[in-house]
Amino acid sequence: MTETTMTETAKKPTINLEICIDNMESADNAVAGGADRLEVCSALALGGLTPSVGKFFQKTGTMLKEIAPGFVATLHCKYPHVPLYCMLRQRAGNFVYTHDEMDSHIEEIEWLKKAGASGFVFGALTETGTLDRYACEAIVETAGSLPVTFHRAIDVAYDWKSTLEDAIDVGFKRWEKPPIGEPRYSEKPNTSGTGKAQISKITNAGRVQSKDPKPAD
């Protein structure tokens, strides 16, 4: 993903490169290729799910010996200066979550913070395709000072513009948009003048930052 931000002084765009990864080899390649930030997932083939935060232990008699930390903690130790934005997504499929699934998302945030997460990536919709404010507010509140990106649940929202406005109001700092040439919204923002103007107005005003998805090879 490439992200354009506007500096407060010169008002010239600066480009940050964020790469989606789901294994150590992809992470190594992304950092070697100049990634400024990693979006850490599992199962990118399913659109990206929450990465592992667990630890693996080996039992010897009555003793437990840690033999491998979780993926996020390993990344944090190996690349301490590279921000890690962790996906929060329990399962593949839609973005309508039950209370139990949201409880799990909230618990995952606490574990991911301890593992070294720098931010989170999340999105939730209601059954009618609007922003699920309850779920999203719970995530942003639990993340605290760590920023949260609204992911591509916006692709399937009933009205992407109102969903984006609601996401900004809730407290999301960034949002993911489709790659160039891959329209996904009902109003195809990368081919519609109206959509492009709306995106430019929102992002250039500094209200939210947009990201173009770029998975690691």
Q: Supply the pTM of this predicted model.
A: 0.78
Q: What local confidence, expressed as pLDDT, does residue 198 receive?
A: 52
Q: Homologous superfamily of 2-212 in CATH?
A: Copper homeostasis (CutC) domain (3.20.20.380)
The burial class, CB within 10 Å (0-12 / 13-18 / 19+), for 32 is exposed
Amino acid letter at 32? A
Residue 176 confidence (pLDDT): 81
pLDDT for 29 equals 97
pLDDT of residue 190: 41
Full pLDDT tens readout for the chain, 217 residues: 655 443 344 455 567 889 999 999 999 999 999 999 999 999 999 999 999 876 655 556 666 665 456 899 999 999 999 999 999 999 999 999 999 999 999 999 999 998 999 999 999 999 999 999 999 999 999 999 999 999 989 999 999 999 999 999 999 999 886 554 444 444 444 434 444 455 554 454 445 565 555 566 5
Residue type for position 210: S
pLDDT computed for residue 52 by the predictor: 84
61 φ/ψ sector (left φ>0, alpha ψ -120 to 50, else beta): left
Which pLDDT belongs to residue 96? 97
How far from chain centre, in Å, is Cα 183? 20
| pLDDT value for 121 | 97
- Supply 208's token pair: 């939210």
pLDDT at position 175 is 85
Looking at residue 53, its pLDDT comes to: 77
Q: How far apart are CA 60 and CA 101, in angstroms?
A: 35
Contact 5, 24 (CB under 8 A): no
